[in-house]
Amino acid sequence: MSDQQTPTGMNALTIRLQDEMFALEATHVREILDPVPITRVPNAGDFVGGLINVRGSVVPLADLRVSFGMERPPADADTRIVVMEIDLDGEPLVTGILADKVYDVTDITAASIEDAPKVGMRWPAEFVRGIGRRGEDFVIIPDMNRIIRAEGERSSSLTSTERTDR
């Protein structure tokens, strides 16, 4: 279990991405929205390819499936946007996260959370804070700070490369 995990576990919003269940810290969730119009950003990467309007504020829309190498199915009746506020280097960052389905808020006990295995996972281990249990199901606990930082660095380096190629 990482040092970010509290000894008491976590209160989590469980979501589905493809056939996998993920747990987002419920304390960071501001609201859950039905799909809204997305304004595509020219030359933006796949992780944050668009912006949405949330009560008059411009909010970047991130797709965790990109970070985890998952396919991106078209939106359906279960698709939702989870609006979160994440503390990134001491600054609040509000972002929308696409979810194939939102389940519920649940407690994941500290005893049921383990470190992500270094081998045998199909996802980048550095993006997984831990693996928890919800009943008989495994729940992936993503490290949102690492994901956002890494995707931001990737986008910055692509933009710099594109500028020097011109």
The phi, psi pair for 45, rounded to 5°, reads -75, 175
5-10-15-20 Cα dihedral, nearest 10 degrees: 50
- pLDDT (tens, 9 = 90+) of the chain, 166 residues, equals 444 444 458 999 999 999 999 999 999 999 999 999 999 999 888 899 899 999 999 999 999 999 998 998 889 999 999 999 998 888 899 999 999 999 999 999 888 888 877 766 677 778 999 999 888 888 999 999 999 888 877 665 544 444 444 4
For residue 52, the model assigns a pLDDT of 97
Mapping DSSP onto H, E and C, the string for 92-105 reads: EEEEEEEECEEEEE
Instruction: Output DSSP code: residue 135.
Output: T
Which residue type does 67 have?
A: S
For residue 156, the model assigns a pLDDT of 57
For residue 7, the model assigns a pLDDT of 45
Chain-centroid distance, C-alpha 129: 12
Contacts 24+ apart (CB under 8 A), 124-127: 124/67, 124/68, 124/69, 126/150, 127/67, 127/68
Residue 124 is inside which H or E element, if any?
A: none
Distance CA(89)–CA(93), nearest Å, equals 10
